[in-house]
């Protein structure tokens, strides 16, 4: 499998992490935080550790590509995996891997939550109060979740832009959580060219893309994400979505539908693979 230069965990990978972490963290207390010497994309503030200590985890959720750990007292730990971030719950007596930047102690003192990130493009930020959390996402202008995507909103969003379809799918302001991998796969499933002007799509094609995005993401979740380079599940396992890719990373190989060699082009600075026969303007 040939991957792209930049592979960021997308919605299926993040959702997999959330679902795996949930039974390990829900109801547990965070007891301490150890911070590494190398800063992440957002610097961890020293005062956050004491505020977290003793707080029980109420819920573990997701918004777009963000992991949300909701704590007692309206504290919200928001984590982004960046390109190479990994979250895992490990026994305290197991050696800490290199590039581990945050270690959260858990009550009972037998396991701890570790955040490892080789390239340090990820982040962990503490927000106090629901209002502060809501404001963060409002200022980020994060779009709706794909599974909550209203068909009328989607149709109007596409009709109102001069950009090509794949560029819209990659825009987190338009729809949250979709990235390069699943955009390619969804457009192949919908039989729509990734460079097609979004505002020129027929209602039928708009609906096909709408359905294909959700179906492709769900399939990715069911496969526990794609382990192409750095992504691992919290227990150290591998996702299997990459074993079913129809186009992503397969430029030059035959289309599984028609046998035509798949082509690669660059859209929105991202490598894009498509079938010139099955996916037409």
145 is an active site residue? no
pLDDT of residue 234: 85
pLDDT over 70 percentage in the chain: 98
270 is an active site residue? yes
pLDDT of residue 230: 75
User: Looking at the predicted structure, is the pLDDT value of residue 138 above 50?
Assistant: yes
pLDDT of residue 103: 98
pLDDT of residue 231: 86
- Mean per-residue pLDDT, 130-155: 96
Given 4, 10, 15, 112, which residue is catalytic?
10
Residues 32-79: pLDDT tens digits? 999 999 999 999 999 999 999 999 999 999 999 999 999 999 999 999
- Mean per-residue pLDDT, 170-179: 97
Contact between 227 and 242 (Cβ < 8 Å): yes
pLDDT of residue 236: 82
Strand ranges, E, within the chain: 29-35, 55-63, 66-71, 75-80, 85-91, 100-106, 111-117, 123-128, 263-267, 270-274
- Mean per-residue pLDDT, 86-115: 95
pLDDT of residue 81: 96
Contact between 214 and 183 (Cβ < 8 Å): no
pLDDT of residue 6: 65
111 is an active site residue? no
User: Looking at the predicted structure, is the pLDDT value of residue 232 above 90?
Assistant: no
Q: Is 170 exposed, middle or buried (0-12, 13-18, 19+ CB in 10 A)?
A: buried
Asked: is 146-274 a CATH 3.40.50.970 domain? The reply is no
Given 55, 65, 205, 208, which residue is catalytic?
65
pTM of the prediction?
A: 0.94
User: Looking at the predicted structure, is the pLDDT value of residue 2 above 60?
Assistant: no
Locate the domains of the chain by residue range.
11-140, 146-274
pLDDT of residue 3: 41
Domains 11-140 and 146-274 share a fold: no
Contact between 153 and 144 (Cβ < 8 Å): yes
User: Looking at the predicted structure, is the pLDDT value of residue 1 above 50?
Assistant: no
CATH class of 11-140: alpha beta
User: Looking at the predicted structure, is the pLDDT value of residue 101 above 80?
Assistant: yes
């Amino acid at each position: 499998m040939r991957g792209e230069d930049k592979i960021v965990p997308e919605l299926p990978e993040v959702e997999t992490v959330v679902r795996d972490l949930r039974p390990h963290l829900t109801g547990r207390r965070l007891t301490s935080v150890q911070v590494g010497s190398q800063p992440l994309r957002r610097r961890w503030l020293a005062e956050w550790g004491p505020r977290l200590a003793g707080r029980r985890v109420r819920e573990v959720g997701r918004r777009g590509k963000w992991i949300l750990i909701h704590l007692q007292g309206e504290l919200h730990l928001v984590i982004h995996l960046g390109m190479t971030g990994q979250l895992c719950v490990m026994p305290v007596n197991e050696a800490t891997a290199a590039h581990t930047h945050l270690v959260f102690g858990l009550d009972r003192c037998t396991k701890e939550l570790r955040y490892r990130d080789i390239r340090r493009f990820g982040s962990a930020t503490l927000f106090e109060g629901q209002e502060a959390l809501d404001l963060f996402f409002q200022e980020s202008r994060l779009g709706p979740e794909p599974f909550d995507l209203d068909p009328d909103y989607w149709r109007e969003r596409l009709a109102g832009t001069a950009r090509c379809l794949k560029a819209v799918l990659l825009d987190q302001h338009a729809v949250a959580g979709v990235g390069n991998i699943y955009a390619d796969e969804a457009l192949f499933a919908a039989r729509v060219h990734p460079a097609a002007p979004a505002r020129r799509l027929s209602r039928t094609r708009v609906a096909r893309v709408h359905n294909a995005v959700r179906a492709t993401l769900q399939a990715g979740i069911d496969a526990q994400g794609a382990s192409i380079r750095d992504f691992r599940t919290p227990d150290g396992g591998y996702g299997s979505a990459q074993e079913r890719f129809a186009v992503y990373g397969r430029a030059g190989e035959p289309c599984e539908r028609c046998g035509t060699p798949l082509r690669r082009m660059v859209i929105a600075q991202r490598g894009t693979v498509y079938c010139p026969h099955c996916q037409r303007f």
